[in-house]
């Protein structure tokens, strides 16, 4: 099954790894509670730059992903999704990927 993958990359400021993990754990829990059926995971880089982490979610199509993102924006504005506190991450970057056809 092909899917659209959304990634949100975070570069953690050195010394803020604990706060980064706390935020990611809380945020993923909130996302899973609000969006049942969404496949979402958080990853932590092993090796290389310490503190790199990423949230990865998969949707069946670009439209499904767009619908989920719109719901997430509304939930964030309503205070139902946490945002990282200033001073934890030096960089946050979103990207979208598509599965290759088999």
pLDDT tens readout for residues 25-71: 999 999 988 887 778 899 988 887 778 999 999 888 888 888 888 88
Parent domain of 11: 4-79+87-98
Q: Is 75 helix (H, G, I), strand (E, B) or coil?
A: helix
pLDDT at 99 over 70: yes
Mean pLDDT calculated for residue range 5-20: 93
- Provide the mean pLDDT of the chain: 88
Tokens of 60: 């069946």
Q: Is 22 helix (H, G, I), strand (E, B) or coil?
A: helix
Q: What are the start-end ranges of the E strands in the chain?
A: 4-12, 39-44, 52-59, 89-98
Structure confidence at residue 1 as a pLDDT band (50, 70, 90): low
Structure confidence at residue 46 (pLDDT): 87
Look at the chain and report how many structural domains it folds into. 1
Domain of residue 16, CATH code: 3.30.70.100
For the full predicted model, state whether its pTM sits above 0.85.
Answer: no
Structure confidence at residue 59 (pLDDT): 85
């Amino acid at each position: 099954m092909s899917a659209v993958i959304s990634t949100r990359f975070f570069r953690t400021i050195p010394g803020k790894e604990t706060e980064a993990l706390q935020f990611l754990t809380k945020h993923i829990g909130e996302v899973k509670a609000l969006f049942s059926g969404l496949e979402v995971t958080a990853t932590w880089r092993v090796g290389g730059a310490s503190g790199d982490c990423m949230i990865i979610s998969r949707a069946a199509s670009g439209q499904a992903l767009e619908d989920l993102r719109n719901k997430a924006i509304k939930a964030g504005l309503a205070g139902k999704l946490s945002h990282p506190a200033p001073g934890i991450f030096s960089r946050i970057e979103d990207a979208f990927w598509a599965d290759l056809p088999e």
